[in-house]
């Protein structure tokens, strides 16, 4: 069984601000750092740091070598990452004094994924393999359709949620990882329990992880509902906390851990990520997660 993550790779330009800007406001930032990120890359690195061999497929632009190096340094297989002309994906991220963020995304090379490239990559995978997806690349609907045809298990983090997702046949997804906003966008429901029951009605065969910020997370499958609280830490930067959770939770499923343990592991890994700056840089190794007492 192989794991493929077909997803974005971004350069994150992270600005430290007193408070997140409101419309019309100009504010001097206190600091700027560049980190490697992208929901795709973060989730691949979280999987790799959790001990799961992962192939990342995606595209970088002319200034994106550092994204490739970061994959390699963290043990992510880069065979299916292509470098193209033009800019890489990037973000402008404001982080305030409480570690909260807001993210402006520029798709760049992530939006140059073609159907031909998707076919080339998927040729190397088969039934029994797992594909992990987010919503920061072009041709997402095509990837889902082709992966489903092959019989691959499709895991989707529909983030950021936008109109593009409406083109996707989400009934082909085996596991959703959503936050409350995405849960609302998919179901029209705001209450966590209503989001879960609506997802069950629309996608009866799918399992769901619903993350609830400070209220923890909930997992639902045909056996029932499992809840997990958060580990409280001083938030430095919440960027990639959700991606860390995603990578670690999926690793626990692959390793065959009971759901309760998987949710705990993912919650702890993501709390550690929140306690330090950056995206990929903040994701802990499994040994650290296991040895940290929170
Ligand atoms: O989930 C966090 C990620 O979202 C950041 O690393 C940024 O690149 C955006 O894609």
Q: What is the pLDDT of residues 56-85, one digit of tens each?
A: 999 999 999 999 999 999 999 999 999 999
How many whole angstroms separate alpha carbon 147 and alpha carbon 59?
Answer: 19
Percent of the chain whose predicted confidence (pLDDT) is above 70: 100
- What is the predicted pLDDT for the residue at 167? 95
CB-hemisphere CA count at 13 Å for 156? Answer: 30
How far is the CA of 197 from the CAs of 19, 103, 261, 278, in angstroms?
Answer: 36, 30, 23, 35
- What is the predicted pLDDT for the residue at 267? 98
| Ligand 1 center from residue 191 Cα (angstroms) | 26
Question: Which residues, judged by CB distance below 6 Å to any ligand atom, belong to the binding site of ligand 1?
Answer: 8, 10, 12, 37-39, 42, 91, 103, 105, 136, 239-240, 242-243, 279
How many whole angstroms separate alpha carbon 251 and alpha carbon 57?
Answer: 18
Nearest atom (ligand 1) to Cα of 11 = 8
- What is the predicted pLDDT for the residue at 90? 98
| Mean pLDDT, the chain, whole residue set | 97
| Ligand 1 center from residue 200 Cα (angstroms) | 28
Q: What's the whole-model pTM score? A: 0.97
How many whole angstroms separate alpha carbon 204 and alpha carbon 176?
Answer: 12
What does the pLDDT average to over 42-61?
98
Confidence of residue 48 (pLDDT cuts 50, 70, 90): very high
CATH code (residue 153): 3.40.1190.20
Paired sense of beta strands 55-60 and 31-37, if any:
unpaired
On whether the CB atoms of residues 57 and 121 are closer than 8 A, the answer is yes
On whether the CB atoms of residues 89 and 106 are closer than 8 A, the answer is yes
- Please write the tens of the pLDDT for every residue from 19-39: 999 999 999 999 999 999 999
Confidence of residue 268 (pLDDT cuts 50, 70, 90): very high
Q: Structural domain of residue 108, as residue ranges?
A: 3-23+30-291
- What is the predicted pLDDT for the residue at 102? 96
Sign (positive or negative) of CA dihedral 241, 159, 15, 57? positive
| Ligand 1 center from residue 55 Cα (angstroms) | 19
- What is the predicted pLDDT for the residue at 289? 98
How many whole angstroms separate alpha carbon 273 and alpha carbon 244?
Answer: 7
Confidence of residue 233 (pLDDT cuts 50, 70, 90): very high
- What is the predicted pLDDT for the residue at 24? 97
- What is the predicted pLDDT for the residue at 13? 97
Residue 149, class by beta-carbon neighbours within 10 Å (0-12 exposed, 13-18 middle, 19+ buried)?
exposed
Cβ burial 126-146 (10 Å sphere, 16+ → b, else e):
eeebbbbbbbbbbbbbbbbeb
- What is the predicted pLDDT for the residue at 67? 98
- Which one, of 56, 41, 200, lies nearest residue 131 by Cα? 56
- Please write the tens of the pLDDT for every residue from 123-166: 999 999 999 999 999 999 999 999 999 999 999 999 999 999 99
| Ligand 1 center from residue 38 Cα (angstroms) | 4
Residue to probe by mutation, ligand 1, list 5, 7, 10, most atoms within 8 Å of CB: 10
How many whole angstroms separate alpha carbon 41 and alpha carbon 58?
Answer: 9
| Ligand 1 center from residue 78 Cα (angstroms) | 19
Report the domain count for the chain: 1
- Please write the tens of the pLDDT for every residue from 107-120: 999 999 999 999 99
Cβ burial 154-192 (10 Å sphere, 16+ → b, else e):
bbbbbbbbeebbeebebebbbbbbbbbebbbbbbebeeb
């Amino acid at each position: 069984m192989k794991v493929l993550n077909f997803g974005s790779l971004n350069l994150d330009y992270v600005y430290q601000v007193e408070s997140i800007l409101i419309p019309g406001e100009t504010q001097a930032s206190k600091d700027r750092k560049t980190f490697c990120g992208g929901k795709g890359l973060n989730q691949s690195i979280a999987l790799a740091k959790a001990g799961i061999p992962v192939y990342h497929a995606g595209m970088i632009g002319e200034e994106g070598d550092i994204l490739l190096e970061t994959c390699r340094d963290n043990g992510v297989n880069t065979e299916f990452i292509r470098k193209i002309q033009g800019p890489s994906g990037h973000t402008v991220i404001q982080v305030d004094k409480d570690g909260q963020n807001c993210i402006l995304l520029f798709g760049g090379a992530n939006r140059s994924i073609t159907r031909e490239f998707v076919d080339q990559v998927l040729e190397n995978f088969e039934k029994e393999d797992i594909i992990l997806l987010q919503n920061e690349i072009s041709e997402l609907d095509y990837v889902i359709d082709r992966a489903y045809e092959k019989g691959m298990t499709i895991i989707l983090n529909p983030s950021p949620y936008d109109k593009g997702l409406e083109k996707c046949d989400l009934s082909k997804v085996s596991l959703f990882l959503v936050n409350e906003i995405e849960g609302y966008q998919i179901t029209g429901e705001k209450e966590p329990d209503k989001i879960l029951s609506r997802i069950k009605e629309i996608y009866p065969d799918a399992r769901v992880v619903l993350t609830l910020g400070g209220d923890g997370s909930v997992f639902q499958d045909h056996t029932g509902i499992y809840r997990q609280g958060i580990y409280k830490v001083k938030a430095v930067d919440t960027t990639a906390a959700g991606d860390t959770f995603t990578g670690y939770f999926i690793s626990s499923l692959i390793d065959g851990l009971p759901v309760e343990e998987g949710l705990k592991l993912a919650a702890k890994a993501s709390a550690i990520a929140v306690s330090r700056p950056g995206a990929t840089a903040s994701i802990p190794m499994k040994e650290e997660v296991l040895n940290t007492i929170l």
